[in-house]
A and B are shown apart, each in its own frame.
Chain A
């Protein structure tokens, strides 16, 4: 059964330099739809999209997972957050948005062990489904405007991605899954090898769209026999 693509208002998106849903957006949606049974079986509670743009992907995932998930989304661009809230409303779902860079300010999504005199409580990392469609286009210069920020990825196309990627295993819950949009020129083999000790990576989908050769990469946390050591606090 096919899950409908969310409705969105193109006018609002275009008027505010928000990244318009395009082939990469729809490929990410297709990848999630393909895996939806498996994702549901992970019993996800919390979904986080970093760089939500129009909010179409977050809205789709929220709808596809039914009413039981809590969706959060971040973006640098305040207009993107406004549009995301509008897209959510248009589709009668809820997304909580935070204006920030990646997930700065949301560090408490990261697991930790909290010890008091009497008790030792382990908080697992919280994000069950992590979504990231970064600015991946290789560009000569670093981005300066809102619209450039939505696609410009620096020399390798990976300048934003390389800031997030090292932190992904910290964010994901033990049953977590991470979907990433990448370009062939972002060096797919090296991306797949990232964190191979903690996550299993695979190519979920790939599609040639004009000059772009797009990939959706999927990273799944490996089962841990014992809880990996986490940062202690307090």
Chain B
């Protein structure tokens, strides 16, 4: 599971969950891929994401130092090197083993073999 996927995830579909975002993330194992950097594509992706959730994801792999603690005001003002850091977090980090946790109910959704399992029935077992 790439970290950009975490950005789109929530546990709002669970009963009694109002926000369910961002999901807590624990990473036991991840691999770093080398997906080609493209400035325009990275900016397009950054326009889609929510910064608070990206910070959660970066912290989960102890790579918070790659990006600023505050959301930059304009993506296209960043240098290629700065954007590469975002690209690396969003597209190159592939979580193999870990857990996603609902921030409200603490329901656990496992990530195994790189695949997150968001099935409610499995989580409630």
A residues whose Cβ falls under 8 Å from a Cβ of B: 45-46, 67-68, 70, 72, 76, 78, 81-82, 85, 94, 96-101, 104-109, 114, 123, 126, 233-234
Contact = CB atoms under 8 A, between A and B. Distances in A.
A109 B119 contact: no
Question: Sorted from nearest, which 10 A-B pairs have the closest CB atoms?
Answer: A105-B118, A100-B118, A104-B13, A99-B117, A107-B10, A108-B8, A107-B12, A108-B10, A109-B8, A96-B5
A105 B4 contact: no
B12 A97 contact: no
Given A45-B44, A70-B4, A70-B45, A108 B50 contact: yes
11 contacts: A78-B115, A85-B114, A98-B118, A100-B117, A101-B119, A104-B118, A104-B119, A106-B8, A106-B10, A107-B12, A107-B21
Nearest to A114: B50
Contacts of B35: 94
A96 B118 contact: no
Contact of B48 (A94, A126, A233): A126
Given A46-B48, A72-B5, 4 more contacts: A98-B1, A100-B117, A104-B120, A106-B10
B103 interface: no
B5 A108 contact: no
B115 A105 contact: no
A105 B45 contact: no
Nearest to B121: A101
Name which of B2, B8, B12, B114 has the most chain A CB atoms within 10 A of its CB. B8
B16 to A, nearest CB: 15
Interface in B78-100: none
Contacts of A46: 48
Contact of A108 (B21, B116, B119): B21
A208 B53 CA distance: 47
Nearest to B109: A105
Nearest to A75: B115
B31 interface: no
Given A105-B118, A126-B48, A98 B13 contact: no
Contacts of B114: 85
Given A108-B50, A126-B48, A99 B19 contact: no
B14 to A, nearest CB: 9
Nearest to A81: B115
B10 A99 contact: no
A99 B119 contact: yes
Contact of A126 (B8, B11, B38): B8
Interface in B10-58: 10-13, 19-21, 35-36, 38, 41, 44-45, 48, 50, 53
Given A99-B116, A99-B118, A100-B119, A105 B9 contact: yes
Contact of A98 (B44, B113, B115, B120): B115
Contacts of B8: 72, 106, 108-109, 126
